[in-house]
Amino acid sequence: MIDLHTHTTASDGRCTPEELVARAAAAGVRVLAVTDHDTIAGCAEAADACARAKMTFVPGIEATAVVDGADVHVLGYFVQTNSPALLSFLAEQRQRRVERVREMIGRLVGHGITLDAEAILAPALTDSTIAVGRPWIARALVEQGLVPNIAEAFNRWLARGRPGFVRRIGASPEEVFDRIHGAGGIASLAHPVLMKHDEWLPQYAQRGLDALEVYHSDHDQLTTSHYLGIAKTLRLGVSGGSDYHADDAHGGGRPGKVSLPQKHYEGLLRLRAARRAKASSAGSVSSS
Ligand code: AMP
Ligand code: FE
Ligand code: FE
Ligand code: ZN
């Protein structure tokens, strides 16, 4: 099995990278990407654990871009995790996450809900490589008995249009593609069914998007063949994964629940090689 979409405690997943790799290995995954929201902090530990388990590790990211206040999730694969430009971009994204979550908690106070912002934010404030997100507020609401579950926390308070919602400020999809390419990676548009704007895909393909996440836990068979067709028309690669968070509220129930067919994984490897060849020829032109 090939699972190229998973989360860890470096963002809103519930497993440490090591636990994630153990679960993935037990489920029969042999190629695993960790794709945390706006951080690569889980990659080093996951890479070590994959090496011990004799699994192939793909360093990844799920960067959050914004269009008209709506989120566009962009996956980056094969990124160099020591790229200073990528690291500083992600640090900015995470700083904006801290500000947004603080503001959202402030909104909730206005509705008679008192949450301890500093306690919720603590892991991200203690370690700035950890990315906070709305699920951390959702968990606090559940723990305090204010909502029965995470889904209800979003439906009542945290989703777009709900009282606690604050618009995100962040990079455009095009900027995210460039940042990923700058770090030697390729960009894939995550779970297009959740973006709900297929009409944006042609312009993204023109502007540097390399692949489309055709296989995903939220895609049924019909949706999968729909996006397979779009990827073919737009000459995009195909990526896929479970979006495992170790959390019933979101993503697949286990790593490998959604597996990318090998031929598409090989297509992603070819896209990486093509990007790197392009980058090195551009580099030799500019340095001559
Ligand atoms: P953020 O990046 O802070 O806006 O949080 C977005 C994350 O919240 C997503 O990656 C999901 O993991 C989670 N999420 C978004 N909507 C829902 C929902 N309706 N129910 C459960 N989790 C959600
Ligand atoms: Fe998430
Ligand atoms: Fe996502
Ligand atoms: Zn995800």
Report the nearest-CA residue for atom 20 of ligand 1.
151
pLDDT tens for each residue of 145-179: 999 999 999 999 999 999 999 999 989 999 999 99
pTM summary value: 0.96
Question: Could you tell me which of 272, 42, 270, 74 has the C-alpha nearest to residue 170?
Answer: 74
* Lookup: tokens for 267: 């297509």
- Tell me the per-residue pLDDT of 31-87, one tens digit each, with 9 for 90 and over: 999 999 999 999 999 999 999 999 999 999 999 999 988 899 999 999 999 999 999
Gap between the Cα atoms of 124 and 104, Å rounded = 16
Judged by DSSP in three states, 110 sits in coil
Is the Cβ atom of 154 under 6 angstroms away from ligand 1?
yes
Does 39 contact ligand 1 (Cβ within 6 A)?
no
Cα dihedral 24→149→194→208 (10° resolution): -50
Distance CA 74, CA 65 (A): 7
Report the alpha-carbon distance of residue 203 to residue 226 in Å, rounded.
18
73 lines ligand 1 (CB under 6 A): no
Q: Using a 6 Å cutoff on CB, does residue 36 contact ligand 1?
A: no
Surrounding ion ligand 2 within 5 Å at CB are 12
User: Average per-residue pLDDT in the chain?
Assistant: 95
Confidence category of residue 249, pLDDT binned at 50, 70, 90: confident
Residue 286: pLDDT band (50, 70, 90) is: very low
Q: Is 62 in contact with 73 (CB distance < 8 Å)?
A: yes
Residue 139's Cα: distance from chain center in Å?
19
Q: Is the pLDDT of residue 288 over 80?
A: no
CA-to-CA distance for 280 and 11, rounded, in angstroms? 32
Distance separating alpha carbons of residues 272 and 274, to the nearest angstrom: 5
What is the distance in A from the centroid of ligand 1 to the CA of 277?
A: 36
| Atom 12 of ligand 1, residue of closest alpha carbon | 250
For residue 264, give Cα distances in angstroms to 26, 58, 94, 212, 237: 23, 14, 31, 11, 7
